[in-house]
Copies of this chain bind each other. A is one copy, B any other.
Amino acid sequence: MTSPINNDPIRNKPMDLQNYLKDKRALVEEAMADLMLDSDNLPNELARHIEAMRYSLFAGGKRVRPILCVAACESVGGTASKVLPAAVALECIHTYSLIHDDLPAMDDDNLRRGKPTNHMLYGEAGAILAGDGLLTLAFELLSELAADIEPIDRLRIINIIARAAGPLGMVGGQAMDIACEGKEIGIDTLRQIHSRKTGALITAAVQSGAVIGGASPEKFSALSTYGEKIGLAFQIVDDLLNVEGSTEQLGKAAGSDIKLSKATYPAIFGVERTRELAEQTIADALKALENFDEHSDPLRRLATYIVSRNN
């Protein structure tokens, strides 16, 4: 399997990025283990609810949003430890969205990351509630962010993340996506679906890290642009993988989006033009960081990683 995008010079240092990702993923997963509820000493019925949440949260995943949050914080001179509760909250929200998207009433997927989806193990009611629980827990974590972050900044992060995840953001994008199934839609609608459904939370991850890291208004604005561009690129590549990938690589049935006649970039532009679009979008993301120093190298490499990923 070749990756969808091959011609990026920054990919010449693959080991550095792999080590960076490995380190940050370990950091994030350690924080997840610390901050996530466990099912000890709870009545059985409640313990099972907590287990349903834990099942999906710890089912693997690249932890892209938490790592972006950490990297954005570090890009403006902040320290990773301050940002970890927000990073975990972002992963809780991402995981809830996957659980609900996979439901029979939505995309009706049986597999996610090669494992049974939440409702296959915990039933539809259990999966709906596991998602609800993770979403709510995210805001509990955000309201408990480390005391060395100013309360006004903590409120700002809650606001950024709630807007990104809410009715005009991720939830609204999913609602649009479902409503457009089987319909012919134009590129404007497709862009809007992607920007809300995927882009908004990725942008919010970068913005949250920027706020906690103490970014100036200019840097915050540049990082927001970076977040929007990589969010868009992420979805374009996802569409490409859905056309080209195998079930094993995707961890879900290949072509499942096409089966449902969902709007995708390759369906509108064809594969070649879609690859070009992904490359151009990443170039835009990198341009947004042109006034940043070497602390933002991880963000630069993450941009390339997102389009070059093949799993």
Contact = CB atoms under 8 A, between A and B. Distances in A.
Interface of A: 37, 43-46, 48-50, 52-53, 96, 100, 103, 105-106, 123-126, 128-129, 131-137, 139-140, 142-144, 150-152, 154-156, 158-159, 162-163, 165-168, 171-172, 174-176, 178-180, 189, 192, 196
A106 B43 CA distance: 20
B143 A158 contact: yes
B106 A125 contact: yes
B167 A133 contact: yes
Contact of A136 (B43, B154, B166): B166
Query: Chain A: interface secondary structure?
Result: helix
A139 B128 CA distance: 19
Nearest to A152: B151
A155 B134 CA distance: 19
Nearest to A135: B135
A100 B134 CA distance: 15
A136 B171 contact: yes
A48 B166 contact: no
A178 B130 CA distance: 13
